[in-house]
Amino acid sequence: MKILLISWLAAGSLWAQKATSFYSTTEVKSVAVLSSSRWEKEPEIDHFVHLCPGYGGYELLHRSGDSRSWLDVRFGGVTSELADETMQQAQGAFPFKENDVVEWRGYVTDDMFTPYAIIYRLTVQDLEDPGKNHSRLVVIALNEGKARLMGVFSGARASEQARARADTLL
């Protein structure tokens, strides 16, 4: 009976974990600029790589090239390159990280935040009307060096849908 009670209490504490959000920035004044076309005399295209702070041992690489930008995830020296997935699932042309905010979804245990996903906003150009832009939220599962894109959301309920998708990892 004691073993059953202990097992039930342990399982209950896992179920009690509540998803929460912390935020980081990709703002240039808060990152390490690793490379930039501004440093080149005659760059072929505009480009940059910024190393951005994260949580739980994760770092973000904000990369840009040829009027596109996205986030790659680094953990334990291993970088998950997400450019192809991001470009394929962005549902528009020239995806570009829209602002400096990155939302980190995770849980807090013993005063320590453990992230399991990030959410960030992209702007994409309409495929049929180049003068029109659309906003998208990108959800990335972190998974310790094996990050992957989980989904792209748009519309009035995008924030709610993106968080719900991320929280399936909890």
- Per-residue pLDDT tens digits for 49-95: 999 999 999 999 999 998 999 999 999 999 999 999 999 999 999 99
pLDDT category at 16 given cuts 50, 70, 90 is low
Residue 146, Cβ density class (10 Å: 0-12 exposed, 13-18 middle, ≥19 buried): exposed
131-152 mean pLDDT: 96
Q: Is the pLDDT of residue 126 over 80?
A: yes
Q: What percent of the chain has pLDDT over 90?
A: 84
Question: Could you tell me which residues come within 8 angstroms of residue 86 by beta carbon, excluding any fewer than 6 positions away?
Answer: 70, 71, 95, 122, 138, 149
Q: Kindly report the average pLDDT of the chain as a whole number.
A: 91
Q: How far apart are CA 121 and CA 103, in angstroms?
A: 9
pLDDT category at 13 given cuts 50, 70, 90 is very low
Q: How far apart are CA 4 and CA 7, in angstroms?
A: 5
Domain ranges of the chain: 19-169
Q: Is the pLDDT of residue 131 over 80?
A: yes
Q: Which of 34-43, 113-122, 132-141 has the lowest mean pLDDT?
A: 34-43
* pLDDT (0 to 100) of residue 6: 42
Under 8 Å between Cβ of 26 and 52: yes
